């Protein structure tokens, strides 16, 4: 996960994970005020996550998002696996005429 990537100084992997998350957020269209609140919370989490890698940008985005105080003083976002739904599908692949 991102926390482990940062602890091991694997910033390239951390950036890749953040790009995946930001791309998913970019594609998300809120359909209700509750959806908009979730999107806002997700954006705040992304800002917190970029803080260790780009502290100046993180602090500026934190302020632009309307928050008081320093981003560096904020807690690291928590992950609750019970809130995640993982969808798995199996795709057949044909190689040289054989399904694998």
pLDDT of 29 higher than 80 = yes
**Residue 65 pLDDT grade (very low, low, confident, very high; cuts 50, 70, 90):** very high
pLDDT of 87 higher than 90 = no
Alpha helices, DSSP H only, in the chain? 2-7, 11-27, 33-50, 55-64
Q: Which helix (H) or strand (E) holds 94?
A: strand 94-95
Write the pLDDT tens digit of every residue in 47-64: 999 999 999 999 999 999
pTM, to two decimals: 0.75
**Residue 95 pLDDT grade (very low, low, confident, very high; cuts 50, 70, 90):** confident
Query: Which domains are assigned to the chain?
Result: 2-99 (1.10.730.10)
């Amino acid at each position: 996960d991102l926390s482990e990537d940062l602890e091991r100084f694997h910033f390239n992997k951390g950036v890749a994970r953040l790009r995946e998350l930001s791309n998913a957020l970019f594609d998300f269209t809120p359909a209700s005020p509750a959806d908009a609140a979730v999107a806002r919370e997700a954006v705040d989490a992304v800002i917190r996550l970029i803080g260790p890698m780009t502290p100046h940008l993180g602090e500026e985005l934190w302020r632009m998002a309307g928050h008081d105080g320093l981003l560096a003083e904020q807690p690291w976002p928590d992950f609750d696996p019970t809130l995640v739904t993982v969808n798995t599908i199996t795709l057949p692949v044909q190689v040289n005429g054989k399904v694998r």
